[in-house]
């Protein structure tokens, strides 16, 4: 990639190369009783007198922190404070879960495989609060899809009920922020419309990575375009369409710009709580991919490039004309349904989405392992998370500390990230570097992490590095850590 001074993440944070996992086949479900109290009174929380003996999730997260060797001199005592090197009193800690949507086409049980549950967040909140010593603040924030019902997400996950109860126990300075600048709502007559809404209270900032972006090496290519399905100015039906997009305004040979939430950049520490999911474009959706949620405007995030390799990556080959006609009919039917209301319209809409196989599963829109675009967006955003200061200026040294947890208690495989099948994998993975955490998570899935460009290309940067050179020599690369045979989406098999 681009030149610059060699920097090691671990030079600035000594825990950066620590990563670990916990696998407990006896844990196959989340605790469903807010506020998700621990199953026993632990020495580090002597004043907590409310327990939930059925909450095995709390034990799983606590075991992970123990396995990581955090504050090992005080383990088992009232002085154990696993996040004391990560978090200092008075700091702002932002917890970034994956709250993408309030529903799943395969029903309620499948939704557990798509979004972060409150019972995973509770032990993290407890240990963050312990490290803050009553000073500072905790923010739970995410940017779900525009059509998501945030209140329903909060109800399903139990997050609001949990935080409301914790506030009554004098755990002050905890808030929830829905970072979306606009939402897509359905009117009584069945139509959809966008509505502006209260957004990040601190606003947003534009960050230009310039030629140091992961996209910088593509700037010499002529007539280059970047596409995302959120951009309705692009003809997504015609496979050979090569017109200008809204995303081109953000990414071109002159600039590579992202619009990022200031609440994220204002944090001193970020705790990234991702789900273990397959992903049609990126292969997997883990902690690196979860940082997509820090962006204000989805048009500024390239997902694929039109055409075939080497200049494009939307398709491995152009689809047959009958498929294009069938897909056009399918999309027109979906559009018609959006503007017509009749008994059972929602059920029919879900059935149609679930059965688009009727018009084929042609690989399109970058939904395959040849996607050479989305990994660049993912790594750029993670570099911003580490190196952008509170004003959005990229600095030489990391500006905040970081902890990542990948929740694989119930994972999603197949046509993820929102249309796959749930599977109880009974795993959580955690650590202080998202690349290493994701590499280990992929290993637990029974996959080769070198297959995924967000991992294999993460050590190519000499400026705003995500890894120390020595960190990429992964000690677990030849170790079997689970017997899973995780199923990826069609384009990745």
pLDDT of 481 = 66
The residue ranges of every structural domain in the chain are: 9-223+252-301+369-492
Mean pLDDT (the chain) is: 89
Question: pLDDT digit string (tens) for 393-443?
Answer: 999 999 999 999 999 999 999 999 988 999 999 999 999 999 999 999 999
Residue predicted with more confidence, 393 or 237: 393
CB crowding 11-26: b at 16 or more within 10 Å, else e: eebebbbbbbbbbeee
pLDDT of 327 = 74
Out of 286-300, 327-341, 385-399, 445-459, which region has the weakest mean confidence (pLDDT)?
327-341
Structure tokens at 470: 């020595």
CA distance 263 to 135: 18
Out of 44-48, 288-292, 466-470, which region has the weakest mean confidence (pLDDT)?
466-470
In the chain, the percentage of residues whose pLDDT exceeds 70 is 87
**pLDDT above 50 (res 218):** yes
134: left (phi over 0), alpha (psi -120 to 50) or beta: left
**pLDDT above 90 (res 253):** yes
Residue 493 — very low, low, confident or very high, per pLDDT cuts 50/70/90?
confident
**pLDDT above 70 (res 192):** no
Residue 293 — very low, low, confident or very high, per pLDDT cuts 50/70/90?
very high
Residue 3 — very low, low, confident or very high, per pLDDT cuts 50/70/90?
very low
**H or E segment and range at residue 153:** helix 150-157
Long-range contacts of 239-242 (CB under 8 A, 24+ apart): 239/314, 239/315, 239/318, 239/319, 239/324, 239/364, 240/306, 240/307, 240/318, 241/306, 242/306, 242/307
CA distance 247 to 402: 29
Which residues does 423 contact at the CB level (< 8 Å), separation at least 6? 113, 410, 411, 412, 413, 486
Range with top average pLDDT, 239-248, 315-324, 375-384, 443-452:
375-384
pLDDT of 1 = 40
pLDDT of 480 = 55
């Amino acid at each position: 990639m681009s030149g610059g001074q060699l920097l090691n993440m671990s030079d600035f944070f000594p825990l950066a190369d620590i990563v670990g996992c916990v696998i407990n086949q006896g844990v196959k479900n989340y605790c469903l009783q807010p506020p998700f109290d621990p199953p026993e009174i632990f020495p580090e929380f002597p004043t907590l007198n409310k327990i939930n003996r059925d909450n095995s999730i709390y034990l799983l997260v606590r075991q992970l922190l123990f396995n990581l060797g955090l504050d090992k001199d005080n383990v088992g005592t009232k002085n154990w404070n696993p996040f004391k090197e990560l978090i200092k009193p008075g700091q702002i800690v932002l917890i970034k879960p994956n709250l993408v949507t309030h529903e799943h086409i395969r029903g309620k049980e499948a939704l557990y495989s798509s979004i972060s549950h409150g019972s995973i967040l509770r032990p993290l909140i407890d240990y963050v609060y312990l490290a803050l010593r009553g000073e500072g603040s905790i923010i739970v924030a995410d940017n779900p899809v525009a059509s998501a019902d945030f209140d329903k997400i909060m109800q399903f996950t139990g997050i609001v009920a949990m935080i409301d109860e914790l506030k009554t126990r004098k755990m002050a300075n905890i808030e929830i922020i829905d970072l979306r600048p606009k939402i897509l709502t359905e009117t009584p007559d069945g139509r959809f419309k966008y509505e502006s809404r209260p957004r990040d209270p601190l606003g947003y900032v534009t960050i230009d990575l310039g030629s140091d972006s992961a996209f910088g090496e593509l700037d010499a290519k002529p007539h280059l375009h970047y596409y995302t399905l959120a951009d309705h100015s692009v003809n997504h039906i015609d496979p050979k369409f090569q017109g200008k997009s809204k995303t081109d305004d953000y990414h071109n040979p002159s600039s590579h710009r992202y619009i990022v939430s200031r609440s994220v950049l204002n944090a001193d520490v970020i705790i990234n709580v991702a789900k273990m999911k397959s992903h049609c474009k990126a292969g997997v959706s883990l902690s690196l991919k979860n940082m997509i949620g820090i962006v204000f405007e989805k048009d500024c995030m390239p997902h694929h490039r039109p055409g075939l390799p080497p200049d494009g990556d939307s398709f491995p080959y152009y689809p047959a004309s009958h498929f294009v006609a069938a897909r056009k009919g399918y999309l027109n039917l979906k559009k018609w349904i959006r503007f017509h209301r009749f008994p059972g319209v929602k059920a029919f809409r879900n059935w149609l989405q679930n059965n688009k196989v009727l018009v084929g599963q042609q690989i399109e829109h970058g939904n395959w392992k040849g996607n050479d675009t989305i990994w660049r967006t993912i790594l750029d955003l993670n570099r911003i998370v580490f190196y952008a200061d509170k004003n959005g200026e990229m600095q030489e040294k990391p500006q905040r500390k970081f902890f990542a947890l990948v929740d694989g208690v119930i994972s999603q495989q197949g046509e993820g990230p929102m249309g796959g099948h749930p599977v109880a994998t009974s795993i959580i993975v955690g650590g202080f570097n998202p690349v290493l955490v994701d590499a280990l998570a992929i290993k637990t899935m029974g996959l080769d992490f070198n297959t995924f460009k967000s991992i294999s290309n993460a050590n190519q940067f000499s400026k705003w590095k995500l890894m120390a050179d020595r960190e990429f020599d992964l000690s677990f690369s030849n170790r079997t850590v689970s017997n899973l045979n995780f199923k990826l989406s069609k384009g990745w098999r």
